[in-house]
Chain A
């Protein structure tokens, strides 16, 4: 057993922190928050030069074949600065799904483009009335000869406005469990019949859109892997994406905690730094406690995706998703409280953390959803 970071892993984090401090300062994030695109091409290109898009992609598809924990360390640093833009949607949501479901040819085509930074992509998962239920997939894919016709609405799709291609889980089977009825299509964002409408988001650093498909005609070759067999690879990819959100949450919580405790050391009221008052000090201590324990959960869940048994990978991802995103929300909210009126302004960066925290809590299954999933696994193990 060794639950420490290797030298290489420490370097990933340090390099990322150095790069992002320079290239993605708070002023840039504040600007992108209001910008309709949400990221500059310049930053995207520089990130690609760092080989970040290639980290998790296997070497034979032009990537570096690294582990989930390595990606988590990078995402932790991205969360620390509340990185805007389509990295998460492209590399994690679309990339991991293609990696889990695609055929060799599909991986060669799409993953190489992602690894090089040439393509931006996303995953269109949620639907109206589905809530957090990841299996609520109503978009229909009906056969038309050798082709399929897609009809339906996908919501809360991250960065669809920038995407070159979109992975879409679709119901192609008529009856039965998701495991036998869901297919994953990959389609161009400019496919005939696809309408992408940006939605006003609370977190301006993570743009969301509605993706509406009206009689979108796709060939059979657009199906990732096998027809009707998209559910399991999708779930595997989503687990890694859930862990990815945890990593962002840990990085964000860490920075929010640092901002708050640094402020508490210098802000003087009643002739003393407010951090000397236990009411404030204990809030900071609680922020530290939740952040540091979240990091332990993140390491476990990251490791379990690559090396744990299937059941452990699932329960670890759900446990971490609930724990870390709850913690980030608590920490960011306390951060605003410690900063007082200053923390309540748009000018101060703390709002970025609270908004991202809520977004990460809501995305890919709320804590309530994940707790129920855990309970199902626990109850079946005990009874």
Chain B
């Protein structure tokens, strides 16, 4: 057992860290970046950064050189992701779905043409992706998807509605889950299409979320003609394909997010040192000391659990049972961190910005945004069902059992 990096990996980390320091603006503050209130700005920031990353040879570290990657090791891929996580780049820039879902899915399941067409454009920052999963009647019950894709010659005609589609209003492409077999039920008969968002008949309508910004959308598909060449994998195999491919990315995602949250805990401590209660720094208050330390501990659990999961995945190629809990290990602790931060501010917790706010109101945003963490990418309840049923082998509840058969 060894938690250390090799000397070569350490050197690589130092190099990349140095590059990041030189490349990011001197006053880079991840907590003070454009939000989804300025969609063009957030997109352009992402594109410019990703382009620099690509030019410097840091984009797609563990992906094949033939598609614009760097052909380096998975560990080096993790190192780059960790460092970007540490500076909170991957958290504040809208590339999570592009790099965490679209890229691996196309890389592992796409045809040669699809790989050549899409991967270089993802890596150089030209294309941003969104994913069309949830629908009004298919939230946690995602297999209930009813958006239809009916074959018509060389095209699919797509009709239906997606919802909670993050970044659809400025994404270039969509990883769209559709039902290609109208007689199918549940997971069977679902397929993935790689859809150009500029096609006629696609109408994204931004929805304002509790933070006041519009990160996600309703997306309407009205007789959209999508070329058959956009199908990824086999028809009807979409579900299985997605689950196996994305397991590994989840493991990597946990590692990235723990790096970002480590930075958040540091920020929390700095805030505690400068924010006062009854004239005394909050950091001297034993109650908050306990809460801050507990948050640190929870982030260490996420970090080392993520690394352990990643490590056993690399070694055995099989995701172990430890992979299934990562989502719970980051979403709930992040809510606790932001709640602690708000509590520490006392009455200033009400102020969302301006001169009398604490750390420019960034925690007020983070507090609200964190409420989405236990909903997005599978609610906590669904995660616990998955653990209970697939890991522990507990029976499904009677009503769900019936509807699935």
Inter-chain contact A281/B398, CB cutoff 8 Å: no
- Contacting B395 at CB < 8 Å: which of A273, A304, A323, A379? A273
> Taking the complex as formed, is A26 at the interface, i.e. its CB lies under 8 A from any CB of chain B?
no
Inter-chain contact B301/A297, CB cutoff 8 Å: yes
Question: Considering only CB atoms, which chain B residue lies closest to A308 in the complex?
Answer: B3
Inter-chain contact A296/B308, CB cutoff 8 Å: yes
Which one of B266, B269, B305, B394 has the greatest number of beta carbons of chain A within 10 Å? Answer: B394
Inter-chain contact A4/B304, CB cutoff 8 Å: no
How many Å lie between the Cα of A261 and that of B5 in the bound state? 38
Inter-chain contact B394/A382, CB cutoff 8 Å: no
> Taking the complex as formed, is B239 at the interface, i.e. its CB lies under 8 A from any CB of chain A?
no
Which one of B304, B308, B398 has the greatest number of beta carbons of chain A within 10 Å? Answer: B304
Question: Considering only CB atoms, which chain B residue lies closest to A257 in the complex?
Answer: B392
Beyond A293-B305, A299-B304, whether A281 also contacts B388 by CB under 8 A is yes
B117 to chain A, nearest CB (A): 35
Inter-chain contact B394/A275, CB cutoff 8 Å: yes
- Contacting B393 at CB < 8 Å: which of A1, A265, A272, A296? A265
Inter-chain contact A1/B269, CB cutoff 8 Å: no
How many Å lie between the Cα of A277 and that of B389 in the bound state? 11
Inter-chain contact B394/A371, CB cutoff 8 Å: no
Inter-chain contact B388/A296, CB cutoff 8 Å: no
Inter-chain contact A293/B301, CB cutoff 8 Å: yes
Within 8 A of A (CB), among B7-46: none
Within 8 A of A (CB), among B377-405: 381, 383-385, 387-389, 391-398, 401
Inter-chain contact B3/A307, CB cutoff 8 Å: yes
> Taking the complex as formed, is A264 at the interface, i.e. its CB lies under 8 A from any CB of chain B?
yes
Inter-chain contact A2/B394, CB cutoff 8 Å: no
Inter-chain contact A281/B3, CB cutoff 8 Å: no
How many Å lie between the Cα of A278 and that of B381 in the bound state? 9
How many pairs, one residue from A and one from B, have CB atoms within 8 Å of each other in the complex? 169
Which one of B328, B388, B396 has the greatest number of beta carbons of chain A within 10 Å? Answer: B388
How many Å lie between the Cα of A5 and that of B315 in the bound state? 11
> Taking the complex as formed, is A303 at the interface, i.e. its CB lies under 8 A from any CB of chain B?
yes
Beyond A272-B395, A300-B304, A303-B3, whether A372 also contacts B290 by CB under 8 A is yes
Inter-chain contact B388/A284, CB cutoff 8 Å: yes
> Taking the complex as formed, is B219 at the interface, i.e. its CB lies under 8 A from any CB of chain A?
no
Question: Considering only CB atoms, which chain B residue lies closest to A371 in the complex?
Answer: B293
Beyond A281-B389, A289-B328, A382-B273, whether A276 also contacts B397 by CB under 8 A is yes
Inter-chain contact A276/B292, CB cutoff 8 Å: no
Within 8 A of B (CB), among A292-333: 292-297, 299-300, 302-304, 307-308, 316, 319, 322-323
Inter-chain contact A3/B1, CB cutoff 8 Å: yes
How many Å lie between the Cα of A281 and that of B380 in the bound state? 13
Chain A residues near B388 (CB-CB < 8 A): 261, 275, 278, 281-282, 284-285
B309 to chain A, nearest CB (A): 8
> Taking the complex as formed, is B241 at the interface, i.e. its CB lies under 8 A from any CB of chain A?
no
Inter-chain contact A1/B392, CB cutoff 8 Å: no
Contact mask for chain A residues 352-383; partner B; CB cutoff 8 A; 1 contact, 0 none: 00000000000000001011101100110011
> Taking the complex as formed, is B311 at the interface, i.e. its CB lies under 8 A from any CB of chain A?
yes
Beyond A1-B75, A371-B290, whether A6 also contacts B1 by CB under 8 A is yes
Chain A residues near B304 (CB-CB < 8 A): 3, 296-297, 299-300
Question: Considering only CB atoms, which chain A residue lies closest to B400 in the complex?
Answer: A276
- Contacting A379 at CB < 8 Å: which of B2, B283, B328, B383? B283
How many Å lie between the Cα of A4 and that of B5 in the bound state? 15
How many Å lie between the Cα of A372 and that of B283 in the bound state? 11
Inter-chain contact B294/A296, CB cutoff 8 Å: no
Inter-chain contact B297/A1, CB cutoff 8 Å: no
Question: Considering only CB atoms, which chain B residue lies closest to A382 in the complex?
Answer: B269
Inter-chain contact B387/A285, CB cutoff 8 Å: yes
Chain A residues near B395 (CB-CB < 8 A): 265, 272-273, 275-276
Beyond A289-B329, A375-B289, whether A276 also contacts B1 by CB under 8 A is no
Contact mask for chain B residues 41-64; partner A; CB cutoff 8 A; 1 contact, 0 none: 000000000000000000000000
Question: Considering only CB atoms, which chain A residue lies closest to B78 in the complex?
Answer: A1
> Taking the complex as formed, is A9 at the interface, i.e. its CB lies under 8 A from any CB of chain B?
yes
Inter-chain contact B387/A289, CB cutoff 8 Å: yes
- Contacting A296 at CB < 8 Å: which of B290, B322, B381? B322
How many Å lie between the Cα of A323 and that of B294 in the bound state? 8
- Contacting A382 at CB < 8 Å: which of B270, B301, B329? B270
- Contacting B398 at CB < 8 Å: which of A276, A282, A302, A378? A276
Inter-chain contact A288/B269, CB cutoff 8 Å: no
How many Å lie between the Cα of A300 and that of B299 in the bound state? 13
How many Å lie between the Cα of A323 and that of B292 in the bound state? 14
Which one of A292, A304, A379 has the greatest number of beta carbons of chain B within 10 Å? Answer: A292
> Taking the complex as formed, is B312 at the interface, i.e. its CB lies under 8 A from any CB of chain A?
yes
> Taking the complex as formed, is B296 at the interface, i.e. its CB lies under 8 A from any CB of chain A?
yes
Within 8 A of A (CB), among B298-346: 298, 300-302, 304-305, 307-309, 311-312, 315-316, 321-322, 325, 328-329
Beyond A272-B395, A275-B395, A288-B392, whether A4 also contacts B312 by CB under 8 A is yes
- Contacting B307 at CB < 8 Å: which of A1, A69, A368? A1
> Taking the complex as formed, is B286 at the interface, i.e. its CB lies under 8 A from any CB of chain A?
yes
Inter-chain contact B381/A282, CB cutoff 8 Å: yes
- Contacting A3 at CB < 8 Å: which of B3, B266, B290, B387? B3
How many Å lie between the Cα of A293 and that of B393 in the bound state? 19
Within 8 A of A (CB), among B107-166: none
> Taking the complex as formed, is A286 at the interface, i.e. its CB lies under 8 A from any CB of chain B?
yes
Inter-chain contact B311/A4, CB cutoff 8 Å: yes
Inter-chain contact B384/A303, CB cutoff 8 Å: no
Beyond A293-B305, A322-B297, whether A4 also contacts B315 by CB under 8 A is yes
How many Å lie between the Cα of A48 and that of B256 in the bound state? 45
Chain B residues near A319 (CB-CB < 8 A): 296-297, 300-301
Question: Considering only CB atoms, which chain B residue lies closest to A2 in the complex?
Answer: B2
Inter-chain contact B396/A276, CB cutoff 8 Å: yes
B118 to chain A, nearest CB (A): 31
Inter-chain contact B266/A382, CB cutoff 8 Å: yes
How many Å lie between the Cα of A371 and that of B385 in the bound state? 32
- Enumerate the 10 nearest inter-chain pairs by beta-carbon distance, A residue then B residue, closest first: A371-B293, A275-B394, A281-B388, A296-B305, A285-B384, A285-B387, A3-B311, A300-B304, A3-B308, A276-B395
Give residues in B with beta carbon < 8 Å to A: 1-5, 75, 265-266, 269-270, 273, 283, 286, 289-290, 292-294, 296-298, 300-302, 304-305, 307-309, 311-312, 315-316, 321-322, 325, 328-329, 381, 383-385, 387-389, 391-398, 401
Beyond contacts A1-B5, A3-B312, A371-B294: 20 other A-B pairs, Cβ-Cβ < 8 A, are: A273-B395, A276-B397, A278-B385, A278-B397, A282-B384, A284-B387, A285-B392, A288-B392, A289-B325, A289-B328, A293-B325, A295-B322, A297-B301, A300-B300, A307-B3, A319-B297, A319-B301, A371-B289, A372-B286, A375-B292
Q: 12 A–B contact pairs at CB < 8 A?
A: A1-B4, A4-B308, A4-B316, A276-B398, A278-B385, A281-B388, A281-B397, A282-B384, A300-B3, A371-B294, A382-B269, A382-B273
Give residues in A with beta carbon < 8 Å to B: 1-6, 9, 69, 261, 264-265, 272-273, 275-278, 281-282, 284-286, 288-289, 292-297, 299-300, 302-304, 307-308, 316, 319, 322-323, 368, 370-372, 374-375, 378-379, 382-383
